[in-house]
Chain A
Amino acid sequence: MLNYQAPLDLAFQALADPTRRIMVERLSQGPASVSELAQPLDMTLSAVVQHLAVLEASGLVRSQKVGRVRTCRIEPTALHSAERWISERRASWERRLDRLGTFLVETDPTAKPRRRK
């Protein structure tokens, strides 16, 4: 399951750094600009931007620049579960439509010789 394992590894690598954990904790309370993220951290803005890039690459955080402000937000894990939920819904329909096929064959009046005219 390489496709699923790889993002998890990236996420754990991203979270292995204490600075990035502080950033994620801050973002779990709500979106923040890069300068807001940098404010409690004792480092340059460019170092914060580098940490942010690692978090974005891991898929844990995404950011969007509007005007001159880059706003960062956590990528809610619930989104991933929503995607799983959607594929489950689809799979559920597939199973039901297969059962409909079975039902139609089993109830086919022409397939039962005693009902033939």
Chain B
Amino acid sequence: MTVRNAKHATFTIERVYPASPARVFAAWSNKEAKTAWAYCHPEWPVSDHVFDFREGGREHLVTGPAGGTRHVFDAVFHDIVPDQRIVYAYDMHLDERRISVSLATIEFFAVAGGTRLVLTEQGAFLDGYDDIAGREEGTRIGLDNLDRQQRQQRAA
């Protein structure tokens, strides 16, 4: 049985790059450029990739280890201000299981010598991430060991 829960989290990450805001923005707005750096596991084959970078457009990426769990990323670009800001909402599925729904805000600020990028993710993280059944199994084994240990202590 899946334990239903939603955990909310917000985090912000900053980087300063020695490149103009236009170049940094292009790395997010161009499909080929984004493919070069943005995917968690570049070695995984991509079975489907739609990249429609405009307000109201979507990005859809299906990837994952060959023969393994399908990782499905679905995003809608809500706000695009060239060289300054991108806001998109996205969800992540592992096979059929939705594991998170998030809002990502990417801001680009011109600074001396380059660009300060500020990424903020606000997310609802759903039903835990790893295999719940496996964890329950792990707990049960732990309790069994504890029982055995207690029996041994009583017998001694």
Q: Which residues of A contact B (CB under 8 A)?
A: 12, 15-16, 21, 76-79, 81-86, 88-90, 92-105, 107-108
For B, the interface residue count at a CB cutoff of 8 angstroms equals 39
B95-130 interface bits toward A, Cβ cutoff 8 Å, 1 = contact, 0 = none: 000011000000000000000010101010111111
Find residues 28-56 in chain B having any chain A CB closer than 8 Å to their own CB.
33, 36-40
Q: Are B11 and A90 touching (Cβ within 8 A)?
A: yes
Q: Which residues of B contact A (CB under 8 A)?
A: 3, 5, 7, 9, 11, 13, 15, 17-19, 23-24, 27, 33, 36-40, 99-100, 117, 119, 121, 123, 125-130, 132, 135-136, 139, 142-143, 146, 150
In Å, the complex CA distance between A44 and B37 comes to: 62
Out of A15, A21, A85, A107, name the residue touching B129 (CB < 8 Å). Answer: A85
Q: Is the interface of B mostly helix, strand, loop or mixed?
A: mixed
Q: Are A15 and B100 touching (Cβ within 8 A)?
A: no
In the assembled complex, which residues on chain B have CB atoms less than 8 Å from the CB atom of A81?
Answer: 128-130, 132, 135
In Å, the complex CA distance between A102 and B123 comes to: 27
In the assembled complex, which residues on chain B have CB atoms less than 8 Å from the CB atom of A95?
Answer: 40
A97 with B33: in contact, given A85-B128, A105-B18 (CB under 8 Å)?
A: no
